[in-house]
Amino acid sequence: MREINQYYTSVEEIKKIMAAFAWSPLRALMKKAGAEIVSRAAVDKLMDYLEEYAKTLTGCALDIAKHSGRKKVTQNDMKIAINLI
């Protein structure tokens, strides 16, 4: 039973991570960009891509902050990371 509870905790953590990008605003953004009809799968794929890209950018920005002797990631770190990637 303990393993099942640990599994559910992991699922909850995954749900929190997946909520990083809300589905409806992304769908609205896609429509605003000209897509008249947008499938759930298309929005999900965009969410996956954005999450991976955000992780990559954040990792790069964190490396920049650490190189500068800081723990805090700043707006400037993100700008540099965006230009590097």
What does the CA dihedral 67, 72, 76, 80 come to, rounded to 10 degrees? 40
Is the per-residue pLDDT at 62 higher than 50?
Answer: yes
**pLDDT (0 to 100) of residue 30:** 94
- Domain boundaries in the chain? 2-84
Pick the CATH number of 2-84 from 3.40.50.300, 1.10.1200.10, 3.30.70.2190, 1.10.20.10: 1.10.20.10
pLDDT tens for each residue of 35-58: 999 999 999 999 999 999 999 999
**pLDDT (0 to 100) of residue 20:** 73
For the chain, give the percent of residues with pLDDT over 70.
78
Mean pLDDT computed over every residue of the chain: 84
**pLDDT (0 to 100) of residue 23:** 86
| Mean pLDDT for the stretch of residues 25-39 | 93
Residues 6+ apart with CB under 8 A from 35: 42
Locate tokens 């650490």: which residue? 66
